[in-house]
């Protein structure tokens, strides 16, 4: 069964990248520190055919596109390789080049129970998220977050998130567990090597949400602020 939550490692020519990806019911939603990934797939006699659109969600210039464009298309085909899935295909943005991807399952066993979403609550969707440290600390994270039926899945090129939330009347609250899927010591010293727990509360509307809370990274308490912006509805 292809449905699930994955780390994706991909390459084209000499460029490589990573993202998190959730697939279910013929729909793909995911992304990384700079790009959201949305698309669809069909399964045909054990082969999976994927069409994905990659869109820039941040203005930070340190995250260039592997495909040389703020909006790119990817067409791939693949099959299961044990628990993993391997894909090959092309992109019209890089004619003649081969795009390759390996999707590896991520565990979501630690996900807390789903919360309830009532009137005026945050809508189901894929959101671009920015975590910024307070108290003069420089570290932070950009990524994507899928909110669906009171549950949270998300991540970026180094980390993945699982969690749950409840929301109504323009407010939301919940908890997130942030974990590494790829060693991040050279990029994110504060978060690297830790399972980071974040209990949060904040405001929300039809376009996104805000929160400000304390994260626990090992024995260290870190104050942070996060903002979410809707990329597409789920």
Q: Same domain for 213 and 176?
A: yes
Residues 162 and 213 reside in one and the same domain: yes
End of a domain among 42, 75, 105?
A: 105
Q: What is the pLDDT of residues 8-44, one digit of tens each?
A: 999 998 889 999 999 999 999 999 999 999 999 999 9
Within-domain flag for 118: no
Total structural domains in the chain? 2
> Do 170 and 101 fall into the same domain?
no
pLDDT category at 108 given cuts 50, 70, 90 is low
- Please tell me the predicted confidence (pLDDT) of residue 221: 82
Q: Which of 106, 126, 43, 117 is closest to 77 using CA atoms?
A: 43
Residues 70 and 150 occupy one common structural domain:
no
Q: What pLDDT was estimated at residue 185?
A: 65
- Which of 74, 105, 136 is the last residue before a domain boundary? 105
On whether both 129 and 100 belong to a single domain, the answer is: no
Same domain, 154 and 224: yes
Q: Would 61 be classed as within a structural domain? A: yes
Tens digits of residue pLDDT in 65-81:
888 899 999 999 999 99
Q: Are residues 150 and 101 in the same domain?
A: no
Residue 211: which CATH number?
2.40.128.380
Mean pLDDT of 41-51: 96
Specify the pLDDT at position 54: 96
Report pLDDT for 1.
80
Position 221 in a domain: yes
pLDDT of residue 189: 52
In a domain, 114, yes or no: no
Six-digit token pair at 86? 């391997």
The answer to the question of residue 176 being in a domain is: yes
- Domain limits for position 220: 125-233
Query: Do residue 74 and residue 161 come from a single domain?
Result: no
What's the rounded Cα separation, in Å, for the pair 72 and 19? 15
- The predicted-structure confidence for 176-227, as pLDDT tens digits, reads as follows 988 899 987 666 555 666 678 888 999 999 999 999 877 777 777 888 899 9
Whether 65 contacts 54, CB under 8 Å: yes
For residue 214, is it within any domain?
yes
Residue 148 and residue 212 in one domain: yes
pLDDT at 188: 58
Average pLDDT over residues 168-172: 98
Whether residue 204 is contained in a domain is answered as: yes
Residues 89 and 153 grouped into a single domain: no
Mean pLDDT of the chain: 90
Whether 98 and 179 share a structural domain? no
Shared-domain flag, residues 100 and 146: no
Asked, for residue 120, whether it belongs to a domain, the answer is: no
Domain final position from 105, 133, 155: 105
- pLDDT at residue 191, as a whole number: 65
pLDDT tens digits along 1-11: 899 999 999 99
């Amino acid at each position: 069964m292809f449905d699930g939550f994955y780390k994706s490692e991909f390459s084209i020519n000499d460029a490589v990248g990573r993202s998190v990806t959730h697939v279910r019911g013929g729909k793909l939603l995911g992304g990384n520190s700079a790009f959201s990934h949305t698309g669809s797939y069909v399964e045909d006699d054990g082969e999976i055919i994927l069409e994905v659109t990659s869109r820039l969600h941040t203005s930070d210039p340190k995250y260039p596109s592997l495909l040389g464009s703020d909006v790119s298309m990817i067409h791939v085909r693949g099959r299961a390789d044990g628990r993993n899935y391997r894909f090959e295909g092309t992109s019209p943005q890089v004619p003649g080049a081969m795009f390759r991807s390996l999707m590896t399952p991520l565990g979501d066993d630690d996900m807390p129970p789903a919360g309830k979403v009532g009137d005026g609550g945050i809508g189901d969707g894929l959101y671009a998220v920015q975590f910024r440290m307070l108290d003069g600390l420089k570290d932070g994270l950009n990524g994507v977050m899928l909110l669906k039926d009171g549950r949270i899945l998300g991540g970026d090129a180094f980390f993945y998130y699982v969690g749950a939330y409840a929301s109504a009347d323009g407010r939301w609250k919940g908890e997130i567990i942030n974990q590494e899927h790829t060693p991040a010591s050279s990029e994110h010293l504060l978060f690297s090597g830790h399972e980071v727990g974040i209990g949060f509360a904040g405001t929300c509307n039809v376009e996104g949400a805000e929160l400000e809370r304390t994260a626990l990274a090992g024995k260290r308490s870190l104050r942070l602020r996060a903002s979410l912006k809707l990329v597409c509805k789920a």
